[in-house]
Amino acid sequence: MKGIVLAGGKGTRLYPLTLANNKHLLPVYQKPMIYYPLSVLMLAGIRDILLITTPEDRPRFEKLLGDGRAFGIRLQYAEQEKPNGIAEALLISESFINGEPVALILGDNLFYGQGLTTLLRQAIRRLDGAVIFGCRVKDPERFGVVRFDEQKRVLSLEEKPKKPRSDFAVTGLYFYDRHAVRYAKTLEKSARGELEITDLNRIYMQKGKLSVELLGRGFVWMDVGTHQALHEAAEFMKTIELHQGFKVACLEEIAYYLGAISKEQLLVSASKYKNNEYGRYLLDIAKRKHIYPYWEAPFEPRADARAE
């Protein structure tokens, strides 16, 4: 399966913070925002990832992330000239996807919760059509809303309805089978001039091929697109990390636990950040005799990871 992170747009809701910077590069506590969606794809077991951003921001992401080798992934880049809708990401990525299933995540979406790794991998194993993720919210009228039956088959999708038929919002994480690009090519622009991801999801729904995975109690989903949400996300991650002693979305740590980088590669990253707490954290991981990842995982962690 291929992975796509959509990190374009102008971030106007975050002006003036984003007048001279891409919002996905803004800090969420100790890490750039873009680390969080990348970590979700990595936990899902996806190694081939395409990051889509604007032409002017592409060099900044390349400087930060490189080719992904330090994180045990193969990272490529593509450009979206204008924010023409989420579904356009699939058209931009056609040659990268190359007829394979694909996971698409929005660059400003943060996910956290015990069981996330298992949930992601179960969704991939059961993928037959498309899978979206629903999260209960107190104000569903602000989001896309999904209604479903007892088998979690999607019955309806509504975009910011005045009278929601469900209190489950659709998050910015989508899994699609190999037909996604073909269906995306049939979409027409909406009234606001964009190719809507909801319209693509409706195609799968009409074919009886759209299901929803629910993020239940204990899960946190954040759409970090406003000043308030950015502050809340930073405070949440700070609280988790300070109280529990591990880092959320530490890409080098995830790569090491998954066996995607070696101890030597981890030590190189630790040395790079040796003057701060992030580097000391990586060094501590490298010194441990046994690996005990903080997430549950449907694989056996190795005592010493090795690079491919």
Flag the least confident range among 121-125, 179-183, 273-277. Answer: 121-125
Segment 175-190, tens digit of pLDDT: 999 999 999 999 999 9
Q: How far is CA 213 from CA 116, 153, 187, 196, 284, in A?
A: 11, 10, 25, 21, 35
158, containing H or E segment: strand 154-159
Q: Mean pLDDT of all residues in the chain?
A: 91
Look up residue 276 and give its DSSP letter.
S
pLDDT, residue 255, reads 95
Q: 159-180 as b/e, with b when 16 or more CB fall inside 10 Å?
A: eeeeebebbbbbbbbbbbbebb
Q: Is 237 left (phi over 0), alpha (psi -120 to 50) or beta?
A: alpha
Q: Residue 256 and residue 293: Cα distance in Å, rounded?
A: 10
Determine the average pLDDT of the residues in 220-228: 94
pLDDT, residue 176, reads 97
pTM for this structure?
A: 0.93
Look up residue 153 and give its DSSP letter.
B
Give Cα 65 to chain centroid, integer Å. Answer: 15
Q: Residue 52 and residue 57: Cα distance in Å, rounded?
A: 10
Segment 150-166, tens digit of pLDDT: 888 899 999 888 888 99
pLDDT band at residue 305 under the 50/70/90 scheme:
very low
Geometric angle at alpha carbon 133, from 67 and 259, rounded to 5°: 35
> Could you tell me which residues come within 8 angstroms of residue 126 by beta carbon, excluding any fewer than 6 positions away?
211
pLDDT, residue 216, reads 87
Residue 198 has pLDDT above 60, yes or no: yes
Q: Let me know: does 132 contact 201? Beta carbons within 8 Å.
A: yes
Q: How many alpha carbons lie under 13 Å from residue 12 in its C-beta half-sphere? A: 2
Determine the average pLDDT of the residues in 42-58: 96
pLDDT, residue 293, reads 56
Residue 46 has pLDDT above 60, yes or no: yes
Flag the least confident range among 121-125, 188-192, 232-236, 298-302. Answer: 298-302
Q: Residue 142 and residue 276: Cα distance in Å, rounded?
A: 39
Segment 55-103, tens digit of pLDDT: 999 999 999 999 999 999 999 999 999 889 999 999 999 999 999 999 9
More confident residue, 218 or 131: 131
Q: Let me know: does 209 contact 130? Beta carbons within 8 Å.
A: yes
**What proportion of the chain, given as a percentage, has pLDDT over 70?**
94
Give the residue ranges of DSSP H helices in the chain. Answer: 35-43, 58-65, 88-92, 94-97, 116-125, 180-184, 197-206, 227-244, 251-257, 263-272, 277-287
pLDDT band at residue 306 under the 50/70/90 scheme:
very low
